[in-house]
Structure 1
């Protein structure tokens, strides 16, 4: 830093906070470090008794915190994101749409391993609304070596750290399985639960088939939905390992490739996910989805709706953080359930 006369300081950058004190009226920081001196600031500074100031002396290869913040911003901002103005070397990133937040976690960790840089984010695969805060960035010192930002840019390698995937407009079909519902002995209370969850993503059920616990009926119902234009199929009932629960085998015989029958999530261990050759997703939902507030379905659905094709490994990763604590008052998704990856 260097010492300079206040009257010559317009355009210079303060190296430290300046406090203004007026008895019984004002006491606090008037100008913060990093502030760029404006013409209108000069009289205020002189009234504060500041005849001289300590300002940043530019050196080749060094960046002011605000200039460095713009570089971190550009590393972060992918599709579906917007940024705040810079303030004291800090920039916040927000969602510009409703969608699924995707984070390159490996790149994030590598950048945060670099001294004097930081990027803090929400959890990966988090469903967000337009205007939601996604991340905050800043550099730690007032000035930073350009080389450290160059390293961060090299780590990112042209990829964006954050993006928000928009939700797709699926045509949902439901196959409800169970003799008790098929024979109208009880009311179907499962489908209304699914309908409410789909509404969160502006989806509606366009096709609905109710069938008996009969493999051939289930297979035919699935094929009928597919032929009628369904682009997502959800099956309920008959998902346990009891001998008369034939929904999993029926899904397989309908032509779907089973990604996994079973998931390391509680509630939701008996969840099934498969895909047809045209990438049409089909899910078999265990009974817990009907009566538990938050289940594996709540973790998987936003990814499916965002067009993410899930693998066996993706489902396996749900085990870390996949234990719902069944809190008396459910706060999901603002809790640890499903936040392991």
Structure 2
């Protein structure tokens, strides 16, 4: 590449090296100069300008960045567009990123013109998060140099690899001694649920038992059958290999991988397994959401790669976390929003309304169920799923002009849980679910969008409920971890017990009387401003 000042008359076709103002407009660096731009500069008295010219065999910065990024694309890793010599690589799914440091170091040693910066090896990432950035420093670089870089990256194993998280049903056991405050245990469950939710997992069941070996053995055996991972928080810290938690794991039929780790905070972690079920004895610091050694082990377990004792031993370099408030964040680390699908429950028999179906009551010339579906479709929800049951044909006709996806619950008479289960199982994995009742005609698209906005503010991990003057009502948004538990819904209890078991925080969004206005009875219908035509 040739670089330096040249007279204006010789600059046509060259690449501008530094931005410059011309006629009230800014000509950005990297612009290929044409005759019109140069004429304007000449009229303003500019006689010389700093530019770059390619040599024979040179690639432009964007072409070079694209070529260098290509061998870094791997399963669940995508590359963005090349802009100003930069290509960013992003995770397509949440997971753990593995970096082959030797390969990246070899690339960066070839020529200062070629650079790749990555997240730390083993970092936990969200869907959409940037993993690495390829940046070409000059405007042009020789093709031969770029090909050397491509060859350095084209090894047998990917230089950057993403291991997606595997959603897991987690059993949480907390032990207690005299004086243990229940509010501490409740907070611990909520903090743990938030950690798990980042990886699409959730607490399926929690047990609180005395801090003794017998009680913990019984709890572990009871939990092991239908959970993928067990986490134990002890009322007292582990101080020996034969202490309550490791001893109970062994007596329950398990094996201990390691007691203690060279990460501070997090030293007092226990890792073992019962058959193929990992068991983590959490250090006391894991009751706080602040990063500690528990996170490093938990994230690997949730990615399906439990660390060996040797791998934990190797965590000491970089394991002093006390003075580190947060991990370094990538340049575009705005959290990717969690998509939310609307599930409209319209299967009930409307028994308290007498001979009429409340969902077909009319508000301003529009059936209630049509109104609810229309508002859902007008929101930022990804789609609307309508669950039918009683008088499915009539309900279907009422929304026939709307692009809702219908699923039918033939067992609607067994209670709401079956309809909710049908709706939640119909939406795509990894989505949150906005659960709407078909008989709440005053909920609007604006209400829904405000709730979805609050859901995104909490990283898609909180339960969000519509409220009226602080009174919780409907709709409700369920995080993906709770949605994945749909198969366990039974009876007429809705998702209440799943929410309680998950430990996820609940956030109320004020939407006025719409949150508590339904039309179950003729009196409620009249009060809400509806009627039956004819």
User: TM-score scaled to structure 2, two decimals?
Assistant: 0.52
The answer as to whether partners of 1:267 and 1:292 remain within 8 angstroms in 2 is no
Whether 1:44 and 2:45 are equivalent positions in the alignment is: no
**Residues 18, 288 of structure 1: alpha-carbon distance in 2 compared, 3 angstrom cutoff:** closer
Alignment of 1:1-341 (within 5 A): 12=13, 14=15, 16-17=17-18, 19-22=20-23, 25=24, 30-33=27-30, 35-36=31-32, 41-49=34-42, 56-57=53-54, 59-60=56-57, 62-115=58-111, 116-158=113-155, 159-180=157-178, 186-187=181-182, 189-190=184-185, 192-202=187-197, 203-227=201-225, 229-237=226-234, 238-241=236-239, 245-278=243-276, 280-290=277-287, 293-325=290-322, 331-334=325-328
* Deviates most, 187-196 or 252-261: 187-196
The answer as to whether partners of 1:219 and 1:253 remain within 8 angstroms in 2 is yes
**RCO higher in structure (CA 8 A, sep ≥6):** 1
Question: In 2, distance between residues paired with 1:96 and 1:117?
Answer: 25
Unaligned runs of 5+ in 2: 330-534
Question: In 1, distance between residues paired with 2:297 and 2:186?
Answer: 18
SS at match of 2:174: strand
Q: 1:71: how far off? A: 1.7
**Residues 292, 117 of structure 1: alpha-carbon distance in 2 compared, 3 angstrom cutoff:** closer
Question: In 2, distance between residues paired with 1:311 and 1:243?
Answer: 17
SS at match of 2:88: strand
Q: Deviations over 1:80-117 (max 9, x none)?
A: 33333222322222333333333222211121111121
Query: In structure 1, what is the equivalent of residue 396 of structure 2?
Result: none
**Residues 163, 287 of structure 1: alpha-carbon distance in 2 compared, 3 angstrom cutoff:** same
Question: In 1, distance between residues paired with 2:81 and 2:14?
Answer: 18
Question: In 2, distance between residues paired with 1:88 and 1:334?
Answer: 24
Larger-gyration structure (1/2): 2
CA RMSD of aligned residues (A): 3.5
Q: 1:164: how far off? A: 3.5
Question: In 1, distance between residues paired with 2:115 and 2:240?
Answer: 52
SS at match of 1:180: coil
The answer as to whether partners of 2:71 and 2:154 remain within 8 angstroms in 1 is no
The answer as to whether partners of 2:170 and 2:231 remain within 8 angstroms in 1 is yes
**Residues 13, 260 of structure 1: alpha-carbon distance in 2 compared, 3 angstrom cutoff:** farther
Alignment: residue pair count: 316
Question: In 1, distance between residues paired with 2:150 and 2:269?
Answer: 41
Question: In 2, distance between residues paired with 1:124 and 1:170?
Answer: 23
Q: 1:190: how far off? A: 3.3
The answer as to whether partners of 1:103 and 1:163 remain within 8 angstroms in 2 is yes
Question: In 2, distance between residues paired with 1:276 and 1:162?
Answer: 32
